[in-house]
Structure 1
Amino acid sequence: MAILLFIRSLYLLPLLFFVAANAFFEELPFWGLDPFQSGFNPGDRGGGGGNNEVVTFKPIEITGRGFKGSWELASENSGVSAMHLILSPPNNKAIMFDSTIFTPAKMELPKGKCRPVPGKPNEMDCWVHAVEYDIDTADVRPLKILTDSWCSSGGHDVDGTIVNTGGWNDGGKATRWLSNCKDCDWRDYATVLSGIRWYATQQILADGSFIIVGGRRKFSYEYLSKEGNNNAAKDHLLPFLRETTDKDENNLYPFVYLSTDNNIFLFANNRSILINTKTNTIVREFPVMPGGSRNYPASGMSALLPIRLEENNPEIVKAEVIVCGGTTPNAFYLADTQKLMLDALKSCGRLEITNPKAQWVMEDMPMGRVMSDMLILPTGDLLMINGAEKGASGWQFADVPALNPVLYSPDAQEEERFTVLEGTTIPRMYHSTSAVLPDGKILVAGSNTNDRYSYTKVKYPTEFRVEKFSPPYLDPMLAPIRPEIVEDSLQKKIKYGEKIRFQFSVRQPLVNPNELEVTMYYPPFTTHGFSMNQRMLVLAITRVFPIGFGQHEMTALAPPSGVLAPPGYYLLFLVHRGVPSPGQWIHIK
């Protein structure tokens, strides 16, 4: 009892130490140089690129106070160029894969594991087109993929199995399934889908099933059947997809999200609608987004902003989408016919999709971006990474690599939302990918602007190197306020609406509950600048209690339903004063 009274009395002690410590950490440099201020100079980002010229690339030089992030080379050879990237929960593995037509790769399949080449009965393909990549050790395990997954879509099943749909040629109607076990390999089903789904989008629904939307000249959507079952009779025509197709399409890989009202939000080109999946009807069309085209090959980026939950949630929780970058509708045509690379769009728009009277709220990024990824960080901020500043998606249709990531803080004042971060020297152009890792770093891989694997005599060689980017919250100076979840105290399997209890530590005797957040992150399938199924929830915290020096117990509320958080694996983070803990895998259903 005496010990307990002593611990509780900590909150009543004079707060000199607490105030002094907080004042110190508040003064730590964190944010970057404002790119809108005078003196911001993009500088020389590389040029030339003749047949025998070695081209070097320089990111924007960032000056000023504070840690702007850092880069490290994680691997020289991933085995394949990562056109597609997805984590494999709950293991520390990432699955990287490309098209089966690209050879020679930098790794071969084990002896006796070659695949038959479609249409060539006497020819075998022994090159690796998919790998399992260990995010801690960089070890690579070859995987055998049978049908062509070029420009396919994907996500996780409820049990964490990776589900990949569509592609090109023999893979256009295929589905592929990969479980998360030690020696598992792809299970291919070549003729499952209702038609060829090439450049389509796959989104998980509230019950854990999938909707697959669009694709090249596929103006419809369908609901995916269970593994191996045929989908032929489940095609739903959607004239909206035909209406949003222009001369160069610009509506492929549409941005699709499960809204908090259980409708499907669909954005294609510059228009957007809500679809009721129970009645398969359009329930709302939103205003046209100004500025240009946003989907492939214009290839902007998009995310569903973090969903904030309360102890007592309203009937419909607010949901807001952001769309950034892209290019003008004719950019692909001009790059293809005249080798003219137009500037990418700088504009961003936010739309509250649960508001029947919603209007686009526009703002500008520091630089235009096309083919970039948009990832939700454990803190709820967004990271814009990879891509180019000119051109469009396609073979050698873009130039001026966007070497510097940009941090976007959605809750900051408008003039303070964008921060340009430390850049890389490795261009990540067409067919590059990225992923948020459990430790908060960003895995960056891929890039191939060529119509084959090309290693020499091109400006942007096919890229097999893997990097990791550490965002500003991984500044070593912030270690004293970085929390850590006690893994054994966390229940890994949770149910909707129940209390989530766990213990955590931080190198401070006291914490302010108002400076804590618990976030749940659904890891996406990323390809061609869009992270499908990506989702973050900010949970309601109901209790924070000290149990020892720097040790605390916390209670948060799990999301109440699959409408807000579709069933499956999530990374759970504890954020203290903007600094996240390492994530822990949890499973909800």
Structure 2
Amino acid sequence: MVPVSGNDIETNFRGSWAIDNNNVGVAAMQFQLMPNNKAVWFDTTSLGPSARELGPPGNCPKSPEMNLKPDCFAHAIAYDVETGNSRTVYLDGEPWCSSGHLWPNGDLVATGGTRGGVRSIRVLSMADPNANFVEKKNILADKRWYSSNQVLEDGSAVIAGGRNSFSYEIVPPNKLEFHPRRFNLPFLQETTVPKRPGPGMYIENNLYPFMFLIPDGNVFLFANDRGIIFHPHTGTVVRQFPKLPGGARNYPASGMAALLPLTITPTPDNIHAEVVVCGGNTQDAYPSVDSKHTKNRVFTPALRDCHRIVLSNHGSTWEKEQDMPSGRCMGDLVHLPNGNLLMINGARKGVAGWENAMDPNLTPVLYTPNKPMGQRFKELAPTTIARMYHSIAALIPDGKILVAGSNPHSKYLVKAEYPTELRVEKFSPPYLDPALAGQRPVISPEKTDKVLKYGKDFKIGVKFNGGKVNPQDVKVTLYYPPFTTHGFSMNQRLLILSLRTVANDVITAVAPPSGKVAPPAYYILFVNFRGIPGKGIWVHVD
């Protein structure tokens, strides 16, 4: 049984914003929500102090990234998404512009960075409430600065790309001792805009490539203006896609991309897999504005276009999606529990990089991919806080969107047109309309199975307002919490599950069929009634 679309409750509520913390002290360059409801974010360690001491007083470890000078400042925190309280986390390497994912056991794995951290792996334990990062240096097969990660069906992860790294490798789960293996990927060199003569004169336009695990176990990778599907264990390119017209979509042009929700049908071999790519900027937008390339800086308007492609159809080509209401680069494209998506953060002009953007895009946009063309975008309530370079947005279990970061400078600057942003906000999407409070399902955790086995039935205890409901009005979703940085939410996926029965305050649902569809991990389980989600709970899928 699959829920019927088009029966969602509509509301005129355009969402609302609230400050969750007025000064958290550390900018959110890299971000991961962990299954203990702690959001971990971290910044560069080699460019000077943050706005928060590491603590306790006098704790100033010698920094290997600053010639062993004492560093009394925190560069990472663990933030409780329920209370807004946070603690500092010690980090001794350089994770600047790194990537990451979760291990199946819930630990955070951060990979690469620059300087002494360019081939490092760092792990933060979920089980230890006072954990610091543990770093293993020089373990990766290649330098991984501006790379992307994608978890595979066995919990291992592909790490692809990075500056001058035209390769990928696979990192195993749950261990820091292994023999790295590098796979050449010429596609990454083919999609790189060549460096110009002189120090730091990069353009690239293909860093932080978009990567998605698709239901046949292969990986879709999009870099700059085109994509491929490759077999992760052999490096074989099994399909090449035509160029996507319009401009560059990856860093520093920095568009957005997402794997649209996967609906698990009773015959899971036929799962529809589709990707959307939106925004970014022109191929020459970066050299037109970056101070290393020009003294006559031009802030090129960001792109408004979106395109979709069906990966599960071997004859598919790019299809033009409706244009966004406004141009957006450096935005975040975040799944919502009900199958819609949210476009948030970013700028209307310029590109990623220090001081390279202006005109922040303050207005989030609700994207409903299954509505008729022309009705898919809805502008929501704007924020008043610019969230541009090095900002993040993430779905949390109560259905709100946590928003943090924005630091378009090499240092922490408080007095600037776009200052280093240390306030944390929460955005309530339209489904959190106070008038709809009575429509929200309430999961009973004690009556819900917390460990889901591939392909097996499981039970969800749930209360619906008014008791009995039409089963076709109920949608159960699983959300993989992504590692987010530079506008790309790595590993993000939303699964719409098949249901057996909805009766007597119990839903019997079917777990995802395999790790190709749902890599082994902790997920947030949501129950939606006519598009209105209740609070989610953490479950484990394997």
TM-score range, shorter chain: over 0.9
Structure-to-structure mapping, 1:135-154, within 5 angstroms: 135-154=81-100
Match of 1:389 in 2: 348
SS at structure 2 position matched to 1:414: coil
1:349 to 2:284 alignment: no
Match of 1:101 in 2: 46
Encode CA deviations 1:460-491: one digit per residue, 9 max, x unaligned: 01010000000000001111211111111101
1:188 to 2:118 alignment: no
Match of 1:172 in 2: 118
Match of 1:575 in 2: 528
1:113 deviates by 4.2
SS at structure 2 position matched to 1:415: coil
SS at structure 2 position matched to 1:477: helix
Aligned-partner Cα distance in 1 for 2:435–2:500: 30
Encode CA deviations 1:488-545: one digit per residue, 9 max, x unaligned: 1101112111112122112224311111100000000000000000011000011011
SS at structure 2 position matched to 1:311: coil
> Does the 8 A contact of 1:95 with 1:130 survive in 2?
yes
Aligned-partner Cα distance in 1 for 2:146–2:179: 18
Match of 1:368 in 2: 327
> Given residue 264 of structure 1, which amino acid in structure 2 is its aligned partner?
V
> Does the 8 A contact of 2:220 with 2:230 survive in 1?
yes
Aligned with 1:207 (options 154, 167, 170): 154
1:93 deviates by 1.1
> Does the 8 A contact of 1:379 with 1:519 survive in 2?
yes
> Does the 8 A contact of 1:224 with 1:231 survive in 2?
no
| Structure 1 pair 297–121 and aligned structure 2 pair: CA distance change class (3 A) | closer
Structure-to-structure mapping, 1:364-513, within 5 angstroms: 364-456=323-415, 458-513=416-471
> Does the 8 A contact of 1:308 with 1:538 survive in 2?
yes
Aligned-partner Cα distance in 2 for 1:115–1:213: 32
Q: Which runs of 5+ in 2 are unaligned?
A: 1-6, 195-202
TM-score normalised by the chain length of structure 2: 0.94
Encode CA deviations 1:336-383: one digit per residue, 9 max, x unaligned: 122210110001011111211111111211111000000000011010
> Does the 8 A contact of 1:311 with 1:542 survive in 2?
no
Aligned-partner Cα distance in 2 for 1:113–1:312: 57
SS at structure 1 position matched to 2:374: helix
Structure 1 runs, 4 residues or longer, greater than 4 Å off: 119-122
Aligned-partner Cα distance in 2 for 1:374–1:122: 39
Match of 1:16 in 2: none
Aligned-partner Cα distance in 2 for 1:168–1:75: 30
Aligned with 1:303 (options 258, 264, 270): 258
Aligned-partner Cα distance in 2 for 1:115–1:222: 32
1:162 to 2:121 alignment: no
1:70 to 2:28 alignment: no
Q: Alignment length, in residue pairs?
A: 520
> Given residue 348 of structure 1, which amino acid in structure 2 is its aligned partner?
C
1:196 deviates by 1.4
Aligned-partner Cα distance in 2 for 1:402–1:500: 42
* The 10-residue stretch of structure 1 (279-288 or 214-223) with the greater mean CA deviation from structure 2: 279-288
1:515 to 2:496 alignment: no
> Given residue 244 of structure 2, which amino acid in structure 1 is its aligned partner?
M
1:287 to 2:242 alignment: yes
Aligned with 2:513 (options 560, 567, 572): 560
> Given residue 294 of structure 1, which amino acid in structure 2 is its aligned partner?
R
> Does the 8 A contact of 1:301 with 1:324 survive in 2?
yes
1:178 deviates by 0.4
Match of 1:331 in 2: 285
Aligned-partner Cα distance in 1 for 2:454–2:60: 44
Aligned-partner Cα distance in 2 for 1:341–1:417: 28
SS at structure 1 position matched to 2:387: coil
1:320 to 2:274 alignment: yes
> Given residue 151 of structure 2, which amino acid in structure 1 is its aligned partner?
I
1:83 to 2:29 alignment: yes
SS at structure 2 position matched to 1:514: helix
Aligned-partner Cα distance in 2 for 1:319–1:120: 46
> Does the 8 A contact of 2:473 with 2:529 survive in 1?
yes
1:110 deviates by 2.0
Query: What's the C-alpha RMSD, in Å, of the aligned pairs?
Result: 1.4
Aligned-partner Cα distance in 2 for 1:556–1:505: 16
> Given residue 99 of structure 2, which amino acid in structure 1 is its aligned partner?
S
Match of 1:587 in 2: 540
Greater gyration radius: 1
Encode CA deviations 1:84-125: one digit per residue, 9 max, x unaligned: 111110x12100111102432121112464332226555111
Match of 2:198 in 1: none
SS at structure 2 position matched to 1:416: coil
Structure-to-structure mapping, 1:241-260, within 5 angstroms: 241-247=188-194, 248-260=203-215
State the identity %: 47
> Does the 8 A contact of 1:93 with 1:135 survive in 2?
yes
Match of 1:114 in 2: 60
Aligned-partner Cα distance in 2 for 1:569–1:92: 11
> Does the 8 A contact of 1:154 with 1:525 survive in 2?
yes
1:409 deviates by 0.3
> Given residue 374 of structure 1, which amino acid in structure 2 is its aligned partner?
L
1:325 deviates by 0.3
Encode CA deviations 1:211-267: one digit per residue, 9 max, x unaligned: 1000011000001145322554x1111110000001410000000011111111000
Aligned-partner Cα distance in 2 for 1:303–1:342: 24
Aligned-partner Cα distance in 1 for 2:65–2:451: 46
Aligned-partner Cα distance in 1 for 2:147–2:42: 17
Aligned-partner Cα distance in 1 for 2:437–2:233: 48
Aligned-partner Cα distance in 2 for 1:260–1:133: 33
* The 10-residue stretch of structure 1 (255-264 or 181-190) with the greater mean CA deviation from structure 2: 181-190
